[in-house]
Chains A and B, each alone.
Chain A
């Protein structure tokens, strides 16, 4: 279990982290969300000792994290980069050794990862000779080559095409299935919704929402109401609610969970033929926007 406890970090007058706390359990995939410069990268760097917090600490299995613990962590920074001129096999072996694996085991692990990535025959190719997508895969392998117990990935999906996104998502699910705690940041909320069991949302250095995605959705006092009416555009008349999208006669509204659905449906039918009427928990995007706007409004 990784515990982020009360992390606070200031750079001059800029508050990067302001008492951020959350945890990541083994075998879980945690989506770490937040607007730009909310404190995601600073938090991840603090886990690896690359940022020294002014207050608070990072704990692993109940103990403060030091070099020994970090050797069992894997990190993929937002700024991608490996040695471009090194042979891929040697490069992965090198990173495995730096994380404490012995020579032969490190070599084996590197070869194993290249095999899993479908690059088994490219071990002697220089990194720069690989395609962009394959370089990204090697970057991920560099973070995971030493079989870490915790994987921290900063924006792992950025810059990937849909196929790359899919294969990376699958790899993360497989990794977590072996008991690894996985935490990654992303701006692609629909993707996070698909891949993650847990979510942590940060804004202005403070955690504004954290928990199991499905539970958060269910516990939300809001519901997503989607109505499509054939005929004149339907204008919802509701005591409360925000229209989130409106397209080709389809209207999506965030409403209180307690609204009278019968009344709304009747109102819509007066306008035209109702071809779609759905009432569901809010999406992760809804939760995110709500959580972030609450902080910004305050």
Chain B
């Protein structure tokens, strides 16, 4: 057998206080689709950054096509034929596709030539993309195509993809997989990072599982069950959220033709949303990011005002009320963006507790703050939601993403809302923290609160929702019982094919 394309042997990288990678070795063959699996913090990003030249390993070595491979920076890695599509896009909203691609090049050719190349590559790999469109108007899936085409123009030998499907609809995922299979057939190896096991089973030839920085197993994903892989990844039996079957109560929140203009240039207007949410139910709202999720949450939290009667809470019109008036009557929300929206990064956890709990937890008298009480509430949230931090005096930005998310969700849940709206509650959160958050949401619903969960993670929504609806370009499909929905039906709902529902509505 010839040399593999990329051979990693004994890669170790330690940061102060944590070993990110410990003696990691595996091979990627030419044209192989290789999955890298692991929880958040398992060391996947460090490993990938090492391959891409962003991190220098403490020890160990890599060879690319038999030659020693020690990229000093991403530039060197790209020259050697390694390309990477990051989870977070680095694109400028106000520029068009071709301009964005030119920005990533060392010596960009004229715009017309880039546009022509983009068209060729997009035809060749079945990735429809118009080089003249402004990036701000593209969907997340299309933005990802910009990043992929940017990589493909370099004609890479190895393409690294970090969580590529987290922002895609099932149909877009299919398109992406077709492209990746075609690339693989042409001899391009793909290192595919994900924690979505079904995808890996559908796409990858081999899988390497990382846990706490070490390789804990390799498997053939096609021959291994998703549950087995998950347990390999977590290292223990997986906790599946439990829910008590319970009849739902009366309508507590109703949206009545909720419409609103887009709050800014790249926002999405809300168009005639009708919805009733009952006590004790979990309503899941799916959809690809940028289809009105932020706007829907803002109109429910009170950050965005609407016509009074468009939002009714316990039969009172509240569309005009500011955030704290809504909190007072029991409608709470947790927005998607943890840093800078749900929490202020440079403030302590105590101060971040005041941020939303001031009204309900009575943390002020005549405007004067009760610091001791606020601190106690922050401590309760930290204890109740297993937030890993030395204490409430620490800055929010010192917490890891998952811990901060537990704090943000916990802060709202501990205030005993009657209606809780959460947007992407487990985005970027590791599996065990995500399970804890989902359990908390289910427990809240079991106590009689209505919970609206907006998420891009369909598995999550199917796991916890009683009913499911999809947002598409600011329109909400009619909610349907989540039980028994097929992937195809969900995909069509997400894609905005609203007509088909007429035939399927079953009360």
Q: Do A and B come from one complex?
A: no
